[in-house]
Amino acid sequence: MSNIIGYARVSTLEQNAALQVDALTAAGAVRVFTDYASGATDDRPALREALAYLNAGDTFVVWRIDRLGRSVANLIETVNGLAARQVQFRSLTDAIDTSTAGGEFTFHIFAAFAQMERRLISERTLAGLQAARARGRTGGRPTVMTPARLAEAHRMRAEGRTGVHRHHAPGRSCNCGQSPGRH
Protein backbone atom coordinates (compact mmCIF):
# COMPACT_ATOMS: atom_id res chain seq x y z
CA MET A 1 0.00 0.00 0.00
CA SER A 2 1.36 3.40 -0.94
CA ASN A 3 1.35 6.35 1.42
CA ILE A 4 1.60 10.08 1.02
CA ILE A 5 4.35 11.42 3.27
CA GLY A 6 4.72 15.16 3.81
CA TYR A 7 7.67 17.37 4.63
CA ALA A 8 7.41 20.93 5.96
CA ARG A 9 10.24 23.35 6.72
CA VAL A 10 10.35 26.80 8.24
CA SER A 11 13.57 28.74 8.70
CA THR A 12 13.27 29.59 12.39
CA LEU A 13 11.46 28.43 15.51
CA GLU A 14 9.56 31.75 15.49
CA GLN A 15 7.92 30.85 12.19
CA ASN A 16 4.84 28.67 12.13
CA ALA A 17 4.67 25.52 10.00
CA ALA A 18 0.88 25.19 10.43
CA LEU A 19 0.04 26.47 6.92
CA GLN A 20 2.31 23.86 5.34
CA VAL A 21 1.24 21.05 7.67
CA ASP A 22 -2.46 21.80 7.05
CA ALA A 23 -1.96 21.81 3.27
CA LEU A 24 0.02 18.57 3.35
CA THR A 25 -2.60 16.90 5.54
CA ALA A 26 -5.38 18.11 3.22
CA ALA A 27 -3.41 16.57 0.31
CA GLY A 28 -3.66 13.20 2.07
CA ALA A 29 -0.36 13.00 3.96
CA VAL A 30 -0.59 10.27 6.57
CA ARG A 31 2.53 11.62 8.27
CA VAL A 32 4.25 15.01 8.11
CA PHE A 33 7.88 15.58 9.11
CA THR A 34 8.82 19.17 10.06
CA ASP A 35 12.20 20.90 10.25
CA TYR A 36 12.92 24.28 11.83
CA ALA A 37 16.10 25.17 9.94
CA SER A 38 17.36 27.27 7.08
CA GLY A 39 17.16 25.57 3.71
CA ALA A 40 20.82 26.38 3.23
CA THR A 41 21.88 24.09 6.06
CA ASP A 42 22.76 20.44 5.64
CA ASP A 43 21.46 19.61 9.12
CA ARG A 44 17.78 18.83 8.57
CA PRO A 45 17.01 15.82 10.77
CA ALA A 46 13.29 15.66 9.90
CA LEU A 47 14.12 15.53 6.19
CA ARG A 48 16.58 12.68 6.78
CA GLU A 49 13.94 10.87 8.83
CA ALA A 50 11.25 11.44 6.19
CA LEU A 51 13.46 10.16 3.38
CA ALA A 52 14.35 7.07 5.41
CA TYR A 53 10.64 6.48 6.17
CA LEU A 54 9.62 6.36 2.49
CA ASN A 55 8.99 3.06 0.69
CA ALA A 56 8.61 2.15 -2.98
CA GLY A 57 5.22 3.31 -4.22
CA ASP A 58 4.98 6.18 -1.71
CA THR A 59 4.62 9.82 -2.71
CA PHE A 60 6.74 12.46 -1.02
CA VAL A 61 4.92 15.80 -0.85
CA VAL A 62 6.12 19.30 -0.01
CA TRP A 63 4.10 22.50 0.18
CA ARG A 64 6.49 24.37 -2.11
CA ILE A 65 9.62 23.20 -3.92
CA ASP A 66 11.96 25.58 -2.06
CA ARG A 67 11.07 23.80 1.20
CA LEU A 68 13.00 20.74 0.03
CA GLY A 69 16.39 21.74 -1.34
CA ARG A 70 19.33 24.08 -0.93
CA SER A 71 20.16 24.36 -4.63
CA VAL A 72 19.04 23.11 -8.01
CA ALA A 73 21.68 20.40 -7.85
CA ASN A 74 20.48 19.35 -4.38
CA LEU A 75 16.82 19.30 -5.47
CA ILE A 76 17.59 17.25 -8.55
CA GLU A 77 19.76 14.85 -6.54
CA THR A 78 16.99 14.39 -3.94
CA VAL A 79 14.19 13.89 -6.48
CA ASN A 80 16.34 11.55 -8.61
CA GLY A 81 17.14 9.59 -5.45
CA LEU A 82 13.42 9.29 -4.77
CA ALA A 83 12.77 8.12 -8.34
CA ALA A 84 15.50 5.47 -8.03
CA ARG A 85 13.62 4.13 -4.99
CA GLN A 86 10.32 4.27 -6.94
CA VAL A 87 9.00 7.14 -4.81
CA GLN A 88 7.05 9.92 -6.53
CA PHE A 89 7.49 13.60 -5.70
CA ARG A 90 4.80 16.30 -5.53
CA SER A 91 4.96 20.01 -4.76
CA LEU A 92 1.52 21.36 -3.94
CA THR A 93 1.81 25.07 -4.77
CA ASP A 94 4.06 24.53 -7.80
CA ALA A 95 1.77 21.87 -9.31
CA ILE A 96 4.68 19.47 -9.77
CA ASP A 97 4.03 15.73 -9.87
CA THR A 98 6.92 13.57 -11.07
CA SER A 99 4.62 10.66 -11.84
CA THR A 100 4.13 12.29 -15.28
CA ALA A 101 6.68 13.35 -17.92
CA GLY A 102 5.23 16.88 -17.88
CA GLY A 103 5.50 17.00 -14.10
CA GLU A 104 9.12 15.93 -14.22
CA PHE A 105 9.88 18.66 -16.78
CA THR A 106 8.06 21.22 -14.67
CA PHE A 107 10.09 20.14 -11.64
CA HIS A 108 13.37 20.97 -13.40
CA ILE A 109 12.07 24.38 -14.55
CA PHE A 110 10.79 25.34 -11.07
CA ALA A 111 14.00 24.15 -9.42
CA ALA A 112 15.97 26.50 -11.68
CA PHE A 113 13.63 29.41 -10.84
CA ALA A 114 13.93 28.70 -7.10
CA GLN A 115 17.73 28.74 -7.38
CA MET A 116 17.62 32.01 -9.32
CA GLU A 117 15.37 33.60 -6.68
CA ARG A 118 17.77 32.63 -3.88
CA ARG A 119 20.70 34.08 -5.86
CA LEU A 120 18.82 37.33 -6.50
CA ILE A 121 17.99 37.70 -2.80
CA SER A 122 21.65 37.12 -1.93
CA GLU A 123 22.82 39.64 -4.54
CA ARG A 124 20.34 42.28 -3.30
CA THR A 125 21.46 41.75 0.29
CA LEU A 126 25.13 42.14 -0.64
CA ALA A 127 24.37 45.24 -2.74
CA GLY A 128 22.48 46.77 0.20
CA LEU A 129 25.40 46.09 2.55
CA GLN A 130 27.85 47.63 0.06
CA ALA A 131 25.66 50.73 -0.30
CA ALA A 132 25.47 51.08 3.49
CA ARG A 133 29.26 50.77 3.79
CA ALA A 134 29.70 53.41 1.08
CA ARG A 135 27.59 55.76 3.24
CA GLY A 136 29.84 55.00 6.22
CA ARG A 137 27.53 52.58 7.98
CA THR A 138 28.87 49.30 9.25
CA GLY A 139 26.93 46.35 10.50
CA GLY A 140 27.30 44.52 13.73
CA ARG A 141 27.40 45.47 17.34
CA PRO A 142 28.80 48.92 18.22
CA THR A 143 32.29 48.82 19.69
CA VAL A 144 32.85 49.44 23.40
CA MET A 145 36.52 50.22 22.86
CA THR A 146 37.32 53.90 23.23
CA PRO A 147 40.62 55.30 21.95
CA ALA A 148 41.87 55.35 25.57
CA ARG A 149 40.96 51.70 26.10
CA LEU A 150 42.65 50.72 22.84
CA ALA A 151 45.83 52.59 23.82
CA GLU A 152 45.82 50.84 27.22
CA ALA A 153 45.33 47.43 25.57
CA HIS A 154 48.22 48.09 23.15
CA ARG A 155 50.46 49.22 26.04
CA MET A 156 49.60 46.11 28.09
CA ARG A 157 50.25 43.87 25.07
CA ALA A 158 53.65 45.50 24.51
CA GLU A 159 54.50 44.81 28.17
CA GLY A 160 53.52 41.15 27.75
CA ARG A 161 50.37 41.48 29.85
CA THR A 162 47.35 40.11 28.04
CA GLY A 163 44.82 40.71 30.78
CA VAL A 164 43.72 37.17 31.67
CA HIS A 165 45.76 34.06 32.34
CA ARG A 166 44.50 30.88 30.76
CA HIS A 167 43.78 29.42 34.17
CA HIS A 168 41.41 32.35 34.75
CA ALA A 169 39.11 31.34 31.93
CA PRO A 170 35.40 31.47 32.80
CA GLY A 171 34.37 28.71 35.17
CA ARG A 172 37.93 27.94 36.32
CA SER A 173 39.67 28.84 39.53
CA CYS A 174 43.28 28.86 40.67
CA ASN A 175 45.40 29.57 43.71
CA CYS A 176 47.76 32.12 42.20
CA GLY A 177 46.55 34.81 44.60
CA GLN A 178 45.63 37.23 41.83
CA SER A 179 42.08 37.96 40.81
CA PRO A 180 40.98 37.23 37.25
CA GLY A 181 41.57 40.05 34.80
CA ARG A 182 44.20 41.76 37.01
CA HIS A 183 47.40 40.29 35.53
Catalytic (active site) residue 38: no
Helix axes 45-53, 72-84, angle to 10 degrees: 20
d(CA 9, CA 29): 15
d(CA 32, CA 154): 57
d(CA 183, CA 180): 7
d(CA 160, CA 173): 22
d(CA 50, CA 107): 20
Query: Which residue among 2, 11, 38, 122 is the active-site one?
Result: 11
β-pair type (88-91, 96-97): antiparallel
Residue type, 40: A
DSSP string, 60-110: EEESSGGGT-SSHHHHHHHHHHHHHTT-EEEETTTTEETTSHHHHHHHHHH
Catalytic residues: 11
